[in-house]
Structure 1
Amino acid sequence: MSHGLNLNRIAHFVAVVDCGSFTAAAERLGVTKAVVSQHVARLEQELRTTLLVRTTRRLTPTEAGAAFHRTCAAILQQAEEAVACLSSASGAPTGTVRVTAPFDYGTAILAPAAVRLGRLHPGCRAELVLTDHSLDLVAEKLDMAIRIGWLADSSHQARRLGGFRQCLVAEPELAGRLALRTPHDLAAVPWVAQSTLRTPLRWTFTHADGGTATVEVAAAIAANATPAVRACVLAGAGVSVIPDYLVGPDIAAGRLRALLPDWRLPEGGIHAVFPAARFRPGIVRALVDLLVQPDAAAGGWPG
């Protein structure tokens, strides 16, 4: 066995086991599949131990490989935290932050913030995982998740980034043809539905005087991602409800028109959710600082 064991090879091996394939590990590490394969092969030669069983369909660690992975993953995590501690103390965040967010918020808010993060801190890199499904932070090795709406109870830590309004909107030409006086009139107009919502065709509005109105709408078209809903509304397919952080610029520019201004829909929160931990890396703090909105609740960091 070599006494000068290459820690870089260990990192490549851990990535392969975590990702389940050389290809996925290469994508995570930003290198070629051949480089990952060479590092793992040389590691096995140095250790004189078979760490992975390779077949045409699957790649699984041997018993020795699984035990070695558990130990090495913990060592790498400790090393990352040690570097993050030094970075935080020096005021210069570094490293990679993995964040998941819904497509709409991820596209409109998170992606630009990730670009600003890299410009402000050249040693930082963001990896965005955009999906409208809630991912397991621990299983997916995520540093942070953005949750939109109403936060469910969990063992994770969270920080409020801000809030959002739900906007009833339509393309101006269509809006001009609609004679909307109350939410009940929406039952007769074409609706663009966000199919992943819990109740995409049932909406409850509150009037400025405190009265409420619940309406059942009929979908002319449905999409499972809010950016697609916005695109359909911009094309004049119908009316829909879209968060203000996505359509605010459209309303300001006249591309969309807000409807029923005297009626409001429930407002929601925007939260950053973190795996339970005593220490939060500097890069995570730096990204959250870029995401905090003016109406966010004041307060310190969890943990």
Structure 2
Amino acid sequence: MVSLDRFDTFKAVVEAGSLTAAADLLGQTRAVVSFNIKRLEAELGVTLLTRNTRRLALTEAGERFYQRCLSMLEEARLAIDEARSEHTELKGTLRITTTVEYALAKVVPALELFRALHPDLNVQLSTSSTHADLISERFDVALRLGRVLDSSHRAVQLSTFGILPVASPAFVASVVPIDSVHALEQTPWLEHGRVGELTITEVSSGVVRPYQPNPCKARIRADNSSVLQAFALTGQGVAILPDWLIEEDLRTGRLVHLLPEWQLSRQGVYALYPDTRHLPLKVRVFIDFMKAYA
């Protein structure tokens, strides 16, 4: 049976880029690292790395094995963490990724309470408009909004939120009256790149119909709700934005909620985590906390 230590050595060589750098990283001699790589290749019966005087390169088999290697080492680490952890004493580091808007509005306040409960657990929070790769970027959990498209990951719904069509008072005054869904659909709008098909429901009657804004009327497309909020505030068009993002804008009148008698499809907040056999206790506890907090 191949030793997991050799998997770890192989991973270090790939990521360090050389036997010497990997040896420094592992606290071993270059000779020991070289021996373990050769033994690993012999036990597997394939060449994993091509070597010359200047650099190391993965073979095709090596590239496939490296991806498997990452998965197996992570599985082993998770199993060890779960065996050693106590529910009341979470330790180590929890790596989270989400959007900057949701982080500022919801995650930062939640983490203040969560860390008070688990002071020995370190938290790394990364924010981005793009969806991070949980495996290659080593995140424990992603908090995502709207639709879940990552079929390779597990997903838990934490909560839902409303999305509202809004515009600045100046913009509303400059266009034909927005007094029906059809009129709203024909009004110049600001498109969010990750909002999919929507329905709209008349609150009083419960009548549901598709919401289909005129594609020719899309003035600006962006993948960030804060950017669309800024465009809406400057009178560029109608934006569909999360209710938690624009509460203050609505309260102060900087934005106007259009057609409040109609309601757009509610959106979900999901916690995504890698589909591993052993879910780390820190991830499970964090997800349970966020479900209760949300």
Query: Aligned AA for 1:282?
Result: L
Q: CA deviation at 1:290?
A: 3.9
Matched, 1:122 2:122: no
State whether residues 88 and 281 of structure 1, in contact with CA within 8 Å, keep that contact through their aligned partners in structure 2.
no
The worse-fitting range, judged by mean Cα deviation, of 255-264 and 119-128 is 119-128
Structure number with bigger Rg: 2
Distance between the aligned counterparts of 1:264 and 1:83, measured in 2?
A: 45
Please list every run of 5 or more consecutive structure 2 residues that lacks an aligned counterpart in the other structure: 38-48
Change (3 A) 1:144 1:256: same
Whether 1:216 aligns to 2:202 is: no
- Give the aligned partner of residue 159 of structure 2: 162
Would the alpha carbon gap of residues 169 and 69 (structure 1) be closer, same or farther in structure 2, given more than 3 Å must change?
closer
Q: Which residues in structure 2 correspond to 1:1-303 (within 5 Å)? A: 14=11, 17=14, 20=15, 38-40=24-26, 42-49=28-35, 60=57, 74=72, 77-89=75-87, 91-114=88-111, 116-151=113-148, 154=151, 156-175=153-172, 179-198=177-196, 204-208=199-203, 209-211=205-207, 212=209, 214-217=211-214, 218-292=217-291
- C-alpha contact (below 8 Å) 1:94/1:282 kept by paired residues: no
How far the C-alpha of 1:253 sits from its partner, in A, is 4.6
Deviates more, 1:91-100 or 1:138-147: 138-147
Distance 1:137 1:229 in 2: 27
Report the Cα offset of residue 275 of structure 1: 2.5
* Structure 2 CA distance for partners of 1:68 and 1:132, relative to 1, 3 Å: closer
Q: Confirm or deny: 8 A CA contact 2:186 2:213 kept in the other structure.
A: no
User: 2: CA distance between counterparts of 1:185 and 1:114?
Assistant: 42
Do 1:189 and 1:239's aligned partners in 2 also have CA atoms closer than 8 Å?
A: yes
TM-superposition CA deviations, 1:120-172 (whole Å, max 9, x none): 43332333454455555445443223332244584643322001111111234
Tell me the amino acid that sits aligned with residue 180 of structure 2: T
Q: Report if aligned partners of 2:141, 2:271 keep a CA contact under 8 Å in 1.
A: yes
The farther-off stretch of 264-273 and 188-197 is 188-197
Between the aligned partners of 1:134 and 1:247, the Cα distance in structure 2 is 23
CA contact 1:157–1:276 (8 Å) conserved in 2: yes
The alpha-carbon distance between structure 1 residues 241 and 167, as it changes in their structure 2 partners (threshold 3 A), is same
The aligned counterpart of 2:40 is: none
Which is further off, 163-172 or 180-189? 180-189
For each residue in 1:226-263, what CA deviation from the matched residue of structure 2 results, as whole angstroms up to 9, or x when unmatched? 22112212233221101223223433454433221101
Letter in 2 for 1:182: S
How many residues are aligned here? 271
**1:278/1:71 CA distance change after superposition, 3 Å:** closer
Residues 96-134 of structure 1: CA deviation (Å, up to 9, x unaligned): 223343454345333554455445433323334544555
1:13–1:40 contact (8 Å) kept in structure 2: no
The gaps in structure 1 that reach 5 residues or longer are: 1-6, 23-33, 297-303
> Residue 96 of structure 2: SS of its match in structure 1?
strand
Shift of 1:40: 4.8
Is the alpha carbon distance of 1:207 and 1:48 closer, same or farther for their aligned partners in structure 2, counting shifts above 3 Å? closer
Measure, in 2, the Cα distance between the counterparts of 1:15 and 1:115: 35
Whole-angstrom distance in 2 between the partners of 1:153 and 1:71: 22
Other structure's SS at 1:122 match = coil
Aligned partner letter, 1:83? D
Q: Whole-Å Cα distance in 1 between the matches of residues 70 and 201 of structure 2?
A: 55
- The residue aligned with 2:43 is none
Structure 1 length as normaliser, TM-score?
0.67
Contact 2:82–2:278 (Cα < 8 Å) also in 1? no
Residues 282/185 of structure 1: CA separation in 2 closer, same or farther (3 Å cut): same
Task: Quote the Cα distance in structure 2 between the aligned partners of 1:255 and 1:137.
Answer: 37
In structure 1, what residue type is equivalent to 2:140?
Answer: D
| Aligned CA-pair RMSD | 4.3
Tell me how far apart the structure 2 counterparts of residues 236 and 221 of structure 1 sit (CA, whole Å). Answer: 12
Bigger shift: 178-187 or 54-63? 54-63
CA distance in 1: counterparts of 2:57 and 2:50, whole angstroms: 5
Compared CA separation, residues 293 and 220, structure 1 to 2 (3 A): farther
Query: Percent of aligned pairs with the same residue?
Result: 29
